[in-house]
């Protein structure tokens, strides 16, 4: 039975430092009033200084976790993060299809901030071929979008070109390309003409582009931004938001989470999910 509580599933790697991966996703789900569930794909040895080791789970273990929660509790929306191997990507795609999970957010995690690969080369191709066509939303950053599309992105026009290709060529229904890797000041302006140094994301729904602008905050504590952004979209979809609403709310959430990021550890600290939820006017519901 479902008593009306939104339910969201994250399929990703475990970050023992709590800043990214499964742990970050579950924090976001909780502060946004969504019941969070998980299917762990890999266990990483990780802290603010980087990823020190990765232990992948067998694909059948990943699939069994998805079956267990989908058959019993139910899933209103779900996201993928670190999938690591082609075999895991194929299992996830098969389970999404079997359980008819149509609110799928794919965060194509490929490389950790410290540079360690989190997706093998053959898994990248498998992701493009079998998982992206099932996605309601794909959320690549600029380096990931370049890998997915094979083009170089230097500006917002390049982001739009890549976004169009993710939908037209790779089969995703919508895509939001995150512009945080563009040089400061290349972020354009918001819909109300507020220019200056900022970060712009490009959302494409298959018909029209929307540029989402926010101020750029200078902090080293950005660990888990991509995970938290895609988790917010997932939580909002589970709550019944449209894709456009979910993406806009995710931009607001991550802006607050970065502005008030947490100065923990000796390296890149995590973003702040409580501040992100407060920016949206809700914590825990």
276 is catalytic: no
**What does DSSP assign to residue 133?**
G
The one catalytic residue in 224, 256, 269, 276 is 224
What is the Cα gyration radius of the chain?
Answer: 17
The one catalytic residue in 27, 79, 128, 178 is 178
The one catalytic residue in 139, 225, 232, 255 is 225
The one catalytic residue in 227, 234, 251, 276 is 227
For residue 106, is it within any domain?
yes
For residue 210, is it within any domain?
no
The one catalytic residue in 63, 179, 226, 276 is 226
Confidence (pLDDT) at 186: 45
Could you tell me which of 271, 226, 19 has the C-alpha nearest to residue 106?
Answer: 226
Residue 227: domain span: 7-176+221-275
CA–CA dist 165, 172 (Å, integer): 9
For residue 182, is it within any domain?
no
CA distances from 117 to 61, 72, 82, 111, 175 (A): 22, 34, 10, 4, 23
> For the segment 95-143, what is each residue's pLDDT rounded down to a tens digit?
999 999 999 999 998 876 655 667 778 888 999 999 999 999 999 999 9
Confidence (pLDDT) at 282: 80
178 is catalytic: yes
Phi, psi of 97 (to 5 degrees): -70, -45
Question: CATH number for the domain including 11?
Answer: 3.40.1190.20
222 is catalytic: yes
Question: pLDDT under 70 in the chain at which residues?
Answer: 1-2, 112-117, 183-197, 284-285
For residue 206, is it within any domain?
no
Q: What is the mean pLDDT of the chain?
A: 91
Confidence (pLDDT) at 193: 39
Confidence (pLDDT) at 172: 98
For residue 191, is it within any domain?
no
For residue 97, is it within any domain?
yes
The token duo for 62 is 């990943």
For residue 259, is it within any domain?
yes
pTM (2 decimals)?
0.93
Number of domains making up the chain: 1
For residue 240, is it within any domain?
yes
63 is catalytic: no
Long-range contacts for 259-266 (Cβ within 8 Å, ≥24 apart)? Answer: 259/215, 259/217, 261/217, 261/219, 261/221, 261/222, 262/221, 263/221, 264/19, 264/48, 264/221, 265/17, 265/47, 265/48, 265/49, 266/48, 266/49
The one catalytic residue in 10, 48, 222, 234 is 222
């Amino acid at each position: 039975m479902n008593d009306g509580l939104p339910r969201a599933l994250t399929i990703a790697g475990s970050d023992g430092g709590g800043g990214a991966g499964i742990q970050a996703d579950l924090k976001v789900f909780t502060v946004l009033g969504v019941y969070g569930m998980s299917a762990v794909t890999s266990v990483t040895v990780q802290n603010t200084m980087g990823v020190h080791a990765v232990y992948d789970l067998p694909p059948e273990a990943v699939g069994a976790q998805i079956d267990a929660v989908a058959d019993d509790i139910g899933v209103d929306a779900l996201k993928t993060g670190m999938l690591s191997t082609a075999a895991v990507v194929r299992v996830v795609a098969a389970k999404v299809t079997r359980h008819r999970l149509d609110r799928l957010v794919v965060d194509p995690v490929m490389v950790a901030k410290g540079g360690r690969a989190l997706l093998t080369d053959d898994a990248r191709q498998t992701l493009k071929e079998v998982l992206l066509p099932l996605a309601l939303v794909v959320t690549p950053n600029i380096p990931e979008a370049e890998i997915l599309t094979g083009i170089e992105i230097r500006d917002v026009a390049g982001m739009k070109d890549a976004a169009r290709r993710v939908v037209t060529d790779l089969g995703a229904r919508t895509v939001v390309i995150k512009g945080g890797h563009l040089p400061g000041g290349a972020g354009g302006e918001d819909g109300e003409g507020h220019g200056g140094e900022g970060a712009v994301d490009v959302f494409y729904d298959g018909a029209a582009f929307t540029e989402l602008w926010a101020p750029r905050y200078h902090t080293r504590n950005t660990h888990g931004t991509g995970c938290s952004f895609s988790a917010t979209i997932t939580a909002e979809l589970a709550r019944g938001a449209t894709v456009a609403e979910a993406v806009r709310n995710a931009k607001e959430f991550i802006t607050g989470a970065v502005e008030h990021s947490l100065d923990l550890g000796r390296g890149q600290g995590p973003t702040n999910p409580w501040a992100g939820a407060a920016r949206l006017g809700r914590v825990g519901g």
